[in-house]
Structure 1
Amino acid sequence: MTFFILLISLLIIGLLSNFSGKLAELIKLPSLIGMMLLGMLIGPYCFKLVPNITISVAPFIKDFALITVLFIAGLGISKSQMHKIGRPAILLSIVPATIEGFIIAYLSTIFLGFHFIQGAILGFIIAAVSPAVLIPSMLDLIDKRLGEDKSIPEMLLVGASADDTVAITLFTTFLSLYMQKSSGGDFSLIKSIATIPLTIILSIIISYILCKLSTFVISKFKTKYLKVIFVFSICIILRIIESRFKIEVFNSLLTIMLYGFFLRSQIEDSALYIKTKMDKFWKLGKLYLFVFVGMAINPSLALGYLKIGVIILTISLSFRSLGVLLSLVNTNLTMKERLFCVVAYLPKATVQSAKAGIPLQMGVAGGEIMQAIALLSVLITAPIGAIGIKIFAPKCLNKIND
């Protein structure tokens, strides 16, 4: 009976998500806005229409969708594009999130009465750009051939994927520092920050080794569908390993995207076939990803800190935008293209909805305020970023005609 309830509820949510997405598009908004609003309305903080069993499996379904879209992103990047975007992509993964996180830490001492470590915990929850919003939008631009002359969507894809590594590592670092100080224990800040480059290097090594092994194994398969199942199973296993074992220097999402990139570089024909099949899976996955992101938002809690939250976010996003512009110094991008990159790097959603409640759960002073402002950042920036990308992309990026 429980399984039947889960199945029926997922079917209904999928149909409603598709309808709400199309409704949003009718009024010239990105479909994800309609899906997120639907999630908020039917979720546990508004009308409570979703069964508990469905809420309990929502994080797993959301993970499947994220795995899919990041794998597709990796499969869509060629070697030549990676050479072109290397330096700015690395800077985009570090500079904007670091600047924004520390600015919020400082502003929190002024507006919220936090000490700096508390502020940094909040800052690095908010600092991560949303892969759920940015990556599908960039894949859409790649399909439309917008910005492809300078590989702008690919640059933002790579930067955003590693950006989360930096933000989450620093969030974990300052949370650990807070807990250690509270209990009187020792903590090494340098050792924790050193995990950032180690995480990225480990992701590159693991993804390359897995690509080499996969290339050998799938060369034995006669059926193309088996190749798709095999490589996607590896992606799922990577995510399970991170979730189960909580390895500090392992980022499964970054590894999955790099795994897709290495597959594309080694077996291009098979990789492109795999990508076409994964694209079909993503059409289903996105119906649930954005609804479940919306379900995690408590609008009444977020809006309780509207005034202070808007002030903090306005200032921090201004500094974040400066970080994006600094990352693009000495590139061949025009001012319009740089403006587009600034807009594309605004949205928050996935990390914030997943991490917002952790400080409160762990007994951090001000945890409820952190949760409220983190969720407010989703309510404000996800629509602005998604709408901004939709508006600015055709105005700022060149279109390559076939």
Structure 2
Amino acid sequence: METLIFIGFFIGLGIMSFLSGKVIEYIKLPSLLGMMILGMVLGPSFLNIIPQSIIKIAPDIKDIALVTVLFIGGLGISMKQIKSIGRPAILLSTIPALFEGFTIAWLSTIFLNFTFIQGAILGFIIAAVSPAVLIPSMISLIDRKKGQDKAIPQMLLVGASADDTIAITLFTTFLGIYLNKFSNHSSDILRDIINIPLALILSIAIGASVSYVSKLFLKYIKGHLFKTLAVFLICLGMRVIEKSFHLSFFNSLLSIMVFGFFIRSYLEKDAEAILKYMNNIWRYGKLYLFSLVGMAINPTLVGNYFVIGIIILFFSLSIRSLGVLISLIGTNLTTKEKLFCVIAYLPKATVQSAKAGIPLENGVAGGEIMQAIAILSVLVTAPLGAIGIKNNENLLSSENEEYQKLSPEIL
């Protein structure tokens, strides 16, 4: 009986998510907003009618969806594009997150009476851009060949995938410093900081190495469906390894994107078919990703910290936007295209939903305040970013002849 209830709710959630997305699209808003609102209403914060069995596997479902969309993102990046976006993508992965995280740390000492360490814990929960919002939007732009003359969606994809590593690593570092202070254990800050670039380099190397080994046996697999299943299982395997062994030096999401990038190069004749199959997986995966992200949002926690939270977010997002503009200095992007990049780097959702409650669970003073402001950041920036991206696509140019010659079929 339990199994039937689970299957019924699971299928029903997918149908309702699809319909809620269509309703929101009808009023000219991004469909993901409808899916997130549905999840929030059905979840623990309001109606609380979702079976615990679905809530328990929600992290795994979200992981599968993120793995899918990041692999598709990797397939959408060519070698020629990576050469042109390399420097700004690297800067986008570091500067905005560092600017925002440390700004929130400083503001927290003023508005919340936190120590700088407490503020940094909050700052680097919030500092991560949301892959759940940004990456699907960028893939949609790639699919419609928007901004391809300067590979803007690809640049944002690469930057965002590494941005999370910076933010999560620093969040873990400052949380460790706080906890060690009260447990009489020493913390090697220098080692933790050095681990950040090492984690990025190692994750890229792992993705490249796995793709090279994979191409050796993928050529013996017959049929595009089986090749797609093989590469998808490899992607899931990398994610499971990181999650199971809690590897701080390995960002599987970045490795998966790199894996997709090299698979496109190694399996040029099969890449188009693989992409079609992966898009079919994503068509259903996004229904659950955004509705489950919505379930993790508890707007009732915001309460008394709404005004202070808005003030902190206003200044921190302004500084983050400045970081994006600094990262784009020296590029050939127009002012309108730079403005689009600023908007695309605003949304928060996935990391904040997953990490908001961790300080409170670990007994950090002010943990309930951190949770409230982290949730507020999702409520404010997820719709702001999603609507901003959708309504400002016209700032990007459409496909050109050079891009068509570069990859006439993959996208």
**Do the two structures share a fold, i.e. TM-score over 0.5?**
yes
| Alignment check: 8 A CA contact 1:204 1:258 kept | yes
Q: More deviation in 124-133 or 43-52? A: 43-52
2-side partners of 1:362 and 1:272: how far apart? Answer: 46
Percent identity over the alignment is 60
1-side partners of 2:210 and 2:88: how far apart? Answer: 26
Partner of 1:222, secondary structure, is coil
2-side partners of 1:380 and 1:177: how far apart? Answer: 29
Residue 248 of structure 1 corresponds to which residue in structure 2?
A: 248
- Opposite residue 321 of structure 1, the aligned amino acid is S
Residue 86 of structure 2 corresponds to which residue in structure 1?
A: 86
- Opposite residue 398 of structure 1, the aligned amino acid is S
Residue 4 of structure 1 corresponds to which residue in structure 2?
A: 4
Gaps of 5+ in 2: 405-411
Superposition pairs of residues 260-271 of structure 1, within 5 angstroms:
260-271=260-271
State the 1:4 CA deviation. 1.4
2-side partners of 1:390 and 1:104: how far apart? Answer: 28
Partner of 2:255, secondary structure, is helix
| Alignment check: 8 A CA contact 1:130 1:350 kept | yes
Partner of 1:149, secondary structure, is coil
Q: Deviations over 1:35-89 (max 9, x none)?
A: 0000110001111111111111111111110010001000110100100100000
State the 1:274 CA deviation. 1.1
2-side partners of 1:80 and 1:272: how far apart? Answer: 18
Q: Deviations over 1:97-137 (max 9, x none)?
A: 00000000000000011000000000000000000000000
Superposition pairs of residues 3-402 of structure 1, within 5 angstroms:
3-394=3-394, 396-400=395-399
State the 1:252 CA deviation. 0.8
State the 1:184 CA deviation. 1.8
Aligned length in residues: 401
| Alignment check: 8 A CA contact 1:2 1:53 kept | no
- Opposite residue 373 of structure 1, the aligned amino acid is I
- C-alpha spacing 1:23/1:190, structure 2 compared with 1 (3 Å): same
- Opposite residue 400 of structure 1, the aligned amino acid is E
State the 1:151 CA deviation. 0.3
State the 1:272 CA deviation. 2.5
TM-score, length of structure 2 as denominator length: 0.96
Q: What RMSD over aligned residues (CA atoms) do the two structures have, in Å?
A: 0.9
Partner of 1:305, secondary structure, is helix
State the 1:269 CA deviation. 2.0
Gaps of 5+ in 1: none
2-side partners of 1:85 and 1:114: how far apart? Answer: 38
Partner of 2:365, secondary structure, is coil
State the 1:25 CA deviation. 0.4
1-side partners of 2:224 and 2:392: how far apart? Answer: 39
Partner of 1:194, secondary structure, is helix
TM-score, length of structure 1 as denominator length: 0.99
State the 1:276 CA deviation. 1.2
- Opposite residue 393 of structure 1, the aligned amino acid is E
